[in-house]
Amino acid sequence: MGLRFTRIVDGDDGETHLVEVDLPTEVVEGSGVSVVRVPVGNMTYVEYPEDREEIIPGWHSTPPPRHFMVSVVGGFDITTTSGERKRFLPGDWVLCDDLTGKGHITEGLPGERVNLVIDVPDEWELPGS
């Protein structure tokens, strides 16, 4: 099954893109359990008020550190400078990895919204990249 997520990246063309990623699992010897290991730093639980403005409105790059954002309740849309748009709902993961380019726009869906923000070390590289 693996860990499936969308990655926001700065492209060689100067635009920001959404890339689908599937990290394969490793079977823990003798257990039959499959795992994906990703080194992480801080985790922040974020509850947004229903009448909120976005934390960073308009076009913006991801503020360091790079991080996963996981929708827990509600959802949000991300639009990139290349024109791609995707909706993220509970259980969806996005790796915010566009630290230097033109950025993206994040728009919360109406209603209650809760996200987990999980920092990833700068030195971590996606397997196979």
pLDDT at residue 68, as a whole number: 97
| Low-confidence spans in the chain with pLDDT less than 70 | 128-129
For the record, the structure tokens of 129 come out as 């990249």
pLDDT at residue 128, as a whole number: 67
pLDDT at residue 80, as a whole number: 97
For the record, the structure tokens of 72 come out as 């827990």
89-104 per-position pLDDT tens digit: 999 999 999 999 899 9
pLDDT at residue 129, as a whole number: 65
pLDDT at residue 16, as a whole number: 97
Q: Which of 55, 62, 52, 65 is nearest to 120 (CA)?
A: 65
Would you list the DSSP string of 13-82?
TSSEEEEEEEEPPEEPTTT--EE-------EEEEEE-TTPPPSS-SSBPPPSSPEEEEEEES-EEEEETT
d(CA 115, CA 96): 13
Question: 95 - beta bridge partners?
Answer: 7, 68
The CATH number corresponding to 3-119 among 2.40.50, 3.50.50, 2.60.120, 2.30.30 equals 2.60.120
Domain ranges (residues) in the chain? 3-119
